[in-house]
Structure 1
Amino acid sequence: MKDYGMRWVEMENLAEARNALSWIGSDQRGIAVMAGKSLARAIKLEKVPLRAAHVLKQEMLAAGGDAAVHRNVIVNKVEQTDVLLLGTFRQLGHVAQKLAVQPFGLKDVGEALKRLLVLSEPPKERSLDCRGLTLPLGKRTLVMGILNVTPDSFSDGGRFAGVEAAVRQAERLAEEGADILDIGGESTRPGHREVSPEEEWARLEPVLKVLVREMSIPLSVDTWKAEVAGRAMEAGAHMINDQWGLQRDPEMARVAGRYQAPVVVMHNRTGTDYRHMMGDILEFLRRSCALAAEQGLAEDQVIVDPGIGFGKTTEQNLEVMARLGELKALGHPILLGASRKSMIGNTLKVPVDERLEGTLAASVVGVAAGADIIRVHDVQANRRAITLADAIYRGQRGVHYGGA
């Protein structure tokens, strides 16, 4: 049987498509036309008004693609519908242009679609300004080392609650390759005891003051309390990691804006009931990003975190891990914090002190999905795994040995 070596070719973005076409020897003008035809996308919109849904369907069909809508749209028996746009990169780009002159708010949809198509490409290298300390974004995946100075941490049992022990651990994490240290003064484990801002700061202050003098890497403070974050900024911390995405303490966004500090906004909620889980997570994070933008923070200063282990069952956490790439639609750097989480323990049936292998797997999944920062307890092992994953996934398919 003569099949001419027929096989699938993996192409995730325009750069990879251009590489594959170049190795064939296609004309450069042809490459410009064909690259967008080789990439299929499915893009979801939610709660689209009926009239707008009709237009989207018509425009996608006219471009050679399609749009999936509720079955009752055709008979006008629904007021709104979710819409799944189905088409190639080129078809979707054509529809985005056509929507610029359409009514029913579809001009904004067109602009959002153009932006989303751009965000599907590999991000350009840029810098994250951490109040005077600079980190690269897009060049390699950064590692955030976890330093808990709490007596009731789920993972290390208060081993670093004392100042000397905490400083030694911070030095070890930095030596092992941490790009950022994330210091927490209140446990976030299930059933944890909430502490006052005064008690939390009493735990953080002595450690932070030493590390500000001795560390040459950015220091992040893991807190949802604006009072604690403000004191940490005054003491010289460089970042804020808010497990409630600026939405629990109304002053937190103002603190981040006042000090122009990069802020991690994590998805969180009470309960695990979702309408559309990824859609709900993205909606929450968009509110968080808007709060930060209102305070003058730039897009790259706002880092989104899907909140593995928070407001999600094990099965929901696994689905979020499988769909991490969807966070790229927000246009912000992505942080993944899955280290030693119950998702790993429940899946592998292992206790906290036996979750390294699972953590390494989750970290590699994060790199493959385009995460910019991985937050971990075991820095050295994760640094090595992430370095190899970067070498694989931050390259472009088809650039060596005959391409695709």
Structure 2
Amino acid sequence: MEIGVKYIDNLEQAKYEIKAVGSDPGGWQQMASKAVHRVLKITGASPTQANIIKQEMLARGGEAAVARGVVNHSVKTTDILLMATLKQYKGFINKLKLQPFGLAALAAKLEEALNNLEGIKVKRMNCRGKVLEFGQRTLVMGILNSTPDSFSDGGRYMDVEAALEHAHKIVEEGADIIDLGGVSTRPGFQDITEDEEKRRILPVLEKILRSVTVPISVDTWRAGVAREVLETGAHIINDQWALRGDPALAEVVARYQAPIMLMHNGTSTSYQDMMIEILTFLRRGIDIAEEAGIPRANIIVDPGIGFAKTHEQNLEVLRRLKELTVLGCPILLGTSRKSVIAKTLNLPVDQRLEGTGATVALGIACGADIVRVHDVKEIARIARMSDAIVRRYTNGG
């Protein structure tokens, strides 16, 4: 006899492994939810809420770690770490729905989180007539900067014909989306007026829309720019401020029925619990989008590597990227040639391909659905290899 170990991430995998030992259908249906263990964190619970939660979780064989002062109410609030199988969570949530003190609403949030952690099934996103498919393979977003000062390719594609040529090149190399930007976001960048941003983007956009077959995303946080590019025919808006930069942007995107990418950003690198705060920031962006009429199915999230984060914090986000799956939205990862690679490997901007490749491969293993890159040909190959391992996707399926 030999002993092995199985790492079970979701119900589908649990059913597969139980069936593989020869269990009958009734058996694997019953046992699968016992094979998946989840650890969830709740923040800001009152002692009353925490005591009920702990009691109900213990009653089902799970566990709930709380602050020491919860029992005698000597703390005002506490975080709670829940530890249980899916079967235990089901009974716990059903009981929580019957409880007062706001616990019924918490039960609904826990239920949603657990559903999201099962992963994105194959789904299609309508990008104003163009379709993106998530869940089967990783999509590659090729960067096209029509700027004089971007950190990597500033000035190379200011000319419309040069930009068009590059757009065709990266599509041939495997880009599923083109991300067109008119404003540099590198550290110390010089902001420009809305009119200048339009002047840079619109001629390029008009040209590539005529001959490029993949969806075009425009990287802007301004409602006025978004309105004109969507009117011109752009398919997606990529907002680096998750609808905080311009209050009118959400309404514009909703009006044109366009998908939106919401990125975490900020003005400080000081966090109490960084990943929880990133999730809170993105969840609020999702709420703003939905309140404006943008459906959840049209939202993509981005942890914002290189934005409002130190070198070590960027590495931590990459290590913990999988935690973003709790939001239930496709995840965009943008690490291409960024300073996190420069500072780790001590390399100039033109020598960061291998570092980018490492972040892409590990990002895909941690749940990335789209990777935003400069070196499309090489990264598309890395993505396909990673997909063969992680998603069992090879040569079209």
TM-score interval (norm. to shorter): over 0.9
In the aligned structure 2, how far is the partner of 1:90 from the partner of 1:394?
Answer: 26
- 2:83 is aligned, of 86, 93, 97, to 86
Instruction: Give 1:133's aligned residue.
Output: 130
- 2:315 is aligned, of 306, 310, 318, to 318
Instruction: Give the deviation of 1:28 after TM superposition.
Output: 2.1
Instruction: Give the deviation of 1:304 after TM superposition.
Output: 0.5
Spell out, residue by residue over 1:150-183, the C-alpha distance to the aligned partner (whole angstroms, 9 max, x if none): 0001011311111111111111011111111000
Instruction: Give 1:15's aligned residue.
Output: 12
Whether 2:231 is the aligned partner of 1:239: answer no
In the aligned structure 2, how far is the partner of 1:379 from the partner of 1:93?
Answer: 43
CA contact 1:49–1:81 (8 Å) conserved in 2: yes
Instruction: Give the deviation of 1:39 after TM superposition.
Output: 1.8
Q: Which runs of 4+ in 1 moved over 6 A?
A: none
In the aligned structure 1, how far is the partner of 2:185 from the partner of 2:95?
Answer: 48
- 2:144 is aligned, of 143, 147, 154, to 147
In the aligned structure 2, how far is the partner of 1:260 from the partner of 1:295?
Answer: 11
Instruction: Give 1:272's aligned residue.
Output: 269
Instruction: Give 1:65's aligned residue.
Output: 62
| Alignment gaps of 5+ in structure 1 | 397-404
- 2:325 is aligned, of 301, 324, 328, to 328
In the aligned structure 2, how far is the partner of 1:39 from the partner of 1:265?
Answer: 30
Instruction: Give the deviation of 1:337 after TM superposition.
Output: 0.7
Instruction: Give 1:48's aligned residue.
Output: 45
| Alignment gaps of 5+ in structure 2 | none
Instruction: Give 2:255's aligned residue.
Output: 258
Instruction: Give 1:387's aligned residue.
Output: 384
1:96-175 alignment, distance < 5 Å: 96-175=93-172
Instruction: Give the deviation of 1:62 after TM superposition.
Output: 0.4
Between 23-32 and 208-217, report the one with greater CA deviation: 23-32
Spell out, residue by residue over 1:5-28, the C-alpha distance to the aligned partner (whole angstroms, 9 max, x if none): 112212111111111111111232
- 1:376 is aligned, of 370, 373, 377, to 373
Instruction: Give the deviation of 1:33 after TM superposition.
Output: 2.3
Spell out, residue by residue over 1:125-160, the C-alpha distance to the aligned partner (whole angstroms, 9 max, x if none): 111111111111112111110000100010113111
Instruction: Give 1:399's aligned residue.
Output: none
Whether 2:192 is the aligned partner of 1:195: answer yes
Between 33-42 and 349-358, report the one with greater CA deviation: 33-42
- TM-score, scaled to structure 2: 0.97
Spell out, residue by residue over 1:199-245, the C-alpha distance to the aligned partner (whole angstroms, 9 max, x if none): 11111111111011111111111011111111111111111001011
1:201-216 alignment, distance < 5 Å: 201-216=198-213
CA contact 2:336–2:374 (8 Å) conserved in 1: yes
> Against the structure 1 CA distance between its residues 122 and 285, is the aligned structure 2 distance closer, same or farther, given a 3 Å change threshold?
closer
Instruction: Give the deviation of 1:30 after TM superposition.
Output: 2.1
In the aligned structure 1, how far is the partner of 2:340 from the partner of 2:19?
Answer: 43
Whether 2:9 is the aligned partner of 1:30: answer no
Q: Which amino acid aligns with 1:387?
A: R
1:356-375 alignment, distance < 5 Å: 356-375=353-372
In the aligned structure 2, how far is the partner of 1:122 from the partner of 1:242?
Answer: 24
CA contact 2:146–2:154 (8 Å) conserved in 1: no
- 1:342 is aligned, of 339, 351, 355, to 339
SS of alignment partner, residue 340 of structure 1 = coil
Q: Which amino acid aligns with 1:235?
A: T
Instruction: Give the deviation of 1:263 after TM superposition.
Output: 0.6
Q: Which amino acid aligns with 1:357?
A: E
- TM-score, scaled to structure 1: 0.95
Identity %: 50
CA contact 1:300–1:333 (8 Å) conserved in 2: no
Q: Which amino acid aligns with 2:217?
A: S
Between 45-54 and 107-116, report the one with greater CA deviation: 107-116
In the aligned structure 2, how far is the partner of 1:235 from the partner of 1:115?
Answer: 37
Instruction: Give the deviation of 1:32 after TM superposition.
Output: 2.0
Instruction: Give the deviation of 1:41 after TM superposition.
Output: 1.3
CA contact 2:126–2:132 (8 Å) conserved in 1: yes
SS of alignment partner, residue 385 of structure 1 = helix
Between 280-289 and 4-13, report the one with greater CA deviation: 4-13
* Count of equivalent residues: 393
Instruction: Give the deviation of 1:285 after TM superposition.
Output: 0.5
SS of alignment partner, residue 265 of structure 1 = strand
Instruction: Give the deviation of 1:395 after TM superposition.
Output: 3.2
Between 286-295 and 23-32, report the one with greater CA deviation: 23-32
CA RMSD of aligned residues (A): 1.1
CA contact 1:181–1:219 (8 Å) conserved in 2: yes
CA contact 1:244–1:268 (8 Å) conserved in 2: yes
Instruction: Give 2:283's aligned residue.
Output: 286
Instruction: Give 1:352's aligned residue.
Output: 349
In the aligned structure 1, how far is the partner of 2:320 from the partner of 2:199?
Answer: 39
In the aligned structure 1, how far is the partner of 2:19 from the partner of 2:386?
Answer: 26
CA contact 2:47–2:71 (8 Å) conserved in 1: no
